[in-house]
Amino acid sequence: MNNYLIVAGIIFCIGALGVLMRKNLIIVFMSLELMFNAANLGFVAVSNRLNLISGDVFVIFVMVVAAAEAAVALGIIVAFYREKGTVDMDKANELKN
Amino acid sequence: MEALFYIFAFIAIFSALMVISMKNPLTSALYLVLCFFALAGFYVLLDMQFLAVMQILVYAGAIMVLVVLVIMLLNISRLNAVKTDFHQKIIGIVIAVVLFAEIVIYTVGGKTKKPTGIFTHAVINKIGNTQVIGQFLFTKYTLSFEIASILLFVAIIGAYLFAKKKL
């Protein structure tokens, strides 16, 4: 189980790195999906180790939330692009001044 | 089994790295699909074939098609690619390394509990993993199931509002 958790940790950290490092909104969104999936892998691994099913059921709910999040986030990205003509996150600075 | 685990781990980590390091968002999206397939392989190794199928259908199928569609719709060329700041890169790498160190410390140093459930490998294979998940979903987790449906409904309305011409 430890191997699975460490792989999940590596993927989660890569996702976090993508969120912090990239400025392209679409790649930030895909990094978020990576983090979701790393968490899912952790749930399934622990649930398998402890002979439980709750973790596997929870993964289904995570998938539901990820699907809802994908629809809304992509809607936001399209609206942002229509407003600014770019997907650069740094252009979202109306609250700065 | 061990060999398969290392193959899937290599594919998953390599493609995850490629997702965040590619310039073109479309290449990233295709590497992300590869990463989802590797994770589906992990689920098969962990006796959850149903989740593996859901992973491929929902993530690699539905969500990634939506992402690729948006990339196509926005028509982002290489010319107006978004640059990354150097200091942002340094801060990101430091935070990710610290986070990973914490995860490794807690994973390797922590004590593992004894198995408490009754759903061993043999039991799951006897009942069938889809039946087991369905049983839990419609008995113990019915309320969560209903709330998830409301969440999806709200997401439909939200996506519609964002897609309208005027916000």
CATH code (residue B7): 1.20.120.1200
Total Cβ atoms within 10 A of residue B146: 10
A95 lies in a domain? no
CA distance B108 to B81: 40
- Average pLDDT of chain A is 88
Distance from CA of B137 to the nearest CA of A (A): 7
Contact B58 A31 (CB under 8 A): no
pLDDT higher than threshold 80 for residue B77: no
Q: Domain tally for chain B?
A: 2
pLDDT at A82: 84
**pTM summary value:** 0.90
B97 lies in a domain? no
Please give the backbone phi and psi of residue B105, each rounded to the nearest 5 degrees, phi first: -60, -45
pLDDT digit string (tens) for B39-69?
Answer: 999 999 988 889 999 899 988 888 899 889 8
Domain residues for A24? Answer: 2-89
Domain residues for B165? Answer: 118-167
Enumerate residues 9 to 68 of chain B having a beta carbon within 8 A of any beta carbon in chain A: 9, 12-13, 16-17, 19-20, 22, 25, 28-29, 32, 35-36, 39, 42-43, 46-48, 51, 54-55, 58-59, 62-63, 66-67
A97 lies in a domain? no
Last residue of a domain, one of B23, B47, B76: B76
Whether chain B has a CB inside 8 Å of the CB on A94: the answer is: no
A94 lies in a domain? no
Kindly provide the ipTM of the predicted complex, given to two decimals.
0.91
Q: Domain tally for chain A?
A: 1
Which of B16, B8, B161 lies closest to A27, judged by CA?
B16
CA distance B131 to B119: 12
A96 lies in a domain? no
Please give the backbone phi and psi of residue A86, each rounded to the nearest 5 degrees, phi first: -155, 165
Which of B80, B72, B82 lies closest to B26, judged by CA?
B72
